[in-house]
Amino acid sequence: MNVYWLEQTLADVPAENQWLSAGESLSLGRMRFARRRNDWRLGRWTAKRALAASLNLPCDPLALANIEIRAAASGAPEVFLFNQTAPVTISLSHRAGTAMCAVALSGPCIGCDLEMIEPRSNAFIADYLTAREQTLVERTLEGERPLLVTLLWSAKESALKALHTGLRLDTNCMDVSFIDGLPPHTEHSRRGPPLGPMPDVGPDEWRPLHVRYSGEQVFCGWWRHAGGMVRTLVATAQIEHLHDPSTFQFA
């Protein structure tokens, strides 16, 4: 399965709204708070740009208005082209003025998440991470823990989006493991010396991970971190290739 992904910032979003569909313009008009409006516009803009590129559609504002992102009953985003359901799956995430959209052109469900790397409390770790994940955090150098905890949390968020459930599920039913990118012994022992620093990941590098749900279903995924943020992306099928933004030809 091929997956396309794109990030945009608030600075990329046009001031005018000609690129919104009629229904989206109505939705925007019902939003009272500026921050909510800005985040919503950023997410829609990012999704439309990613969809136009991955589907080889025009990306001028009037053409983008023919692409509409609607919320399904589950809250997951659905894509419509000229008022008809489009045969694509998308996932959206935004944080701190940046949005990410992942697009799959085939059936499997996908989920993506974008998170700021920041310290999280011991209570957060105890509430949201599994016992195995907590042991992994304990064995990680203190300065590296914010990155690891953020990564674990983000991977769970991506899987929850792929399931179309959000935080209605207990995150302890999901366990995140890394295929590489962490010292190999981290997955084989519950006790041991502190782990070394997590490797930095370049802007075009992704590393594989798995999220096991309820001990049975396994989501295949990828992760990277750059610019103080973690990105994760998972799917119900093996992701064979991630198309990065440099492959997109925007007009």
Q: What are the tens digits of pLDDT across the range 56-94?
A: 999 999 999 999 999 888 888 999 999 999 989 999 999
DSSP labels, the chain: -EEEEEEEEGGGS-SS-TTS-HHHHHHHHT---HHHHHHHHHHHHHHHHHHHHHTT---SHHHHTTEEEEE-TTS-EEEEETTEE-S-EEEEEEETTEEEEEEESSSS-EEEEEEE-----HHHHHHHS-HHHHHHHHTB-GGGHHHHHHHHHHHHHHHHHHTT-GGGS-GGGEEEEESSSS-GGGGT-SS-SPB-PPPP--TT--EEEEEEETTTEEEEEEEEEETTEEEEEEESS---EEE-GGG----
> What does the pLDDT read at residue 241?
65
Q: What are the tens digits of pLDDT across the range 186-243?
A: 333 334 444 444 444 454 578 999 999 987 889 999 999 888 999 999 998 777 667 6
Name the pTM for this structure.
Answer: 0.85
> What does the pLDDT read at residue 51?
95
Q: Answer yes or no: same fold for 2-106 and 113-235.
A: yes
List the chain domain ranges.
2-106, 113-235
Q: Which CATH class, in words, describes the domain spanning 2-106?
A: alpha beta
- Determine the average pLDDT of the residues in 104-113: 85
CATH number of 113-235: 3.90.470.20
